[in-house]
Amino acid sequence: MEPKDLSVIIPAYKEAENLKIILPQLVAVIRELGQAEVLVIDTVEPLDETAQVCEANAVNYYNRRDGNNYGDAIRTGIAQATGKYTIFMDADGSHDPNFIKALYGYRADFDIVIASRYVNGGDTDNSRLLIFMSLAVNYIYGLVLNIKCQDISNSFKLYQTADLKQLSLKCNNFDIVEEIIYKLKKQKGVLKIKELPFLFKKRMFGDTKRNLLQFILTYIVTLYKLRFDK
């Protein structure tokens, strides 16, 4: 497989209706960026028409390995990525494909480039409860793990693919996003992070895959594990 400049990885769990809208926009964007690839990481067994939507838009389709958790999708995507840089984005419409150009523009100067809701100029359409929970997670993780970043938990980030491929990632849920940034910090010692103001939108179609109770419990356990990991 010919190496690319950029891999855009999209975990998808019954997101065909959203992908019908997102993928044409995304394909148009990456055509402007040179050698780039889109990898949609679906469930272990297809649960909707995601494979057909990917075929119609000429993007790469993969099934998750090992399980249907979000973490399985992230690990599968990293294993399949051939780009020098990798961007993760959500399949539900909350991440604007056009913002990829802004993230990609800072690729050479930073280890991580983040679409940030919480720097000046950033915002989110989420409910007050979700905003409060998100701010709490970001503040506590940043404080306990000594990560100098306002929006640790947003998955819409650019990384150097070689860095990701060196990580051993264990988390199975959305906490894998925090695991990545913390383990990159341990790997490099000092992380060069750029946060760009970004508007996080509500999902377009379908139901959220986040269970709030599970969300809270896994984040507490993961924080403890990362903090005391030897």
Q: What confidence tier does 208 reach under pLDDT thresholds 50, 70, 90?
A: low
Confidence of residue 27 (pLDDT cuts 50, 70, 90): very high
Residue (of 140, 127, 145, 132) closest to 183 by Cα position = 145
Q: Which domain holds residue 99?
A: 4-227
Pairing outcome for strands 157-160 and 112-116: antiparallel
In the predicted model, is pLDDT for residue 173 greater than 70?
yes
What CATH code is carried by the domain that includes residue 101?
A: 3.90.550.10
Whole-prediction pTM: 0.92
Q: Residue 73: what pLDDT?
A: 98
Number of domains into which the chain is organized: 1
Return d(Cα 60, Cα 36) in angstroms, integer: 11
Long-range contacts formed by 55-64: CB under 8 A, 24+ apart = 57/19, 57/23, 57/24, 57/27, 58/27, 59/23, 59/26, 59/27
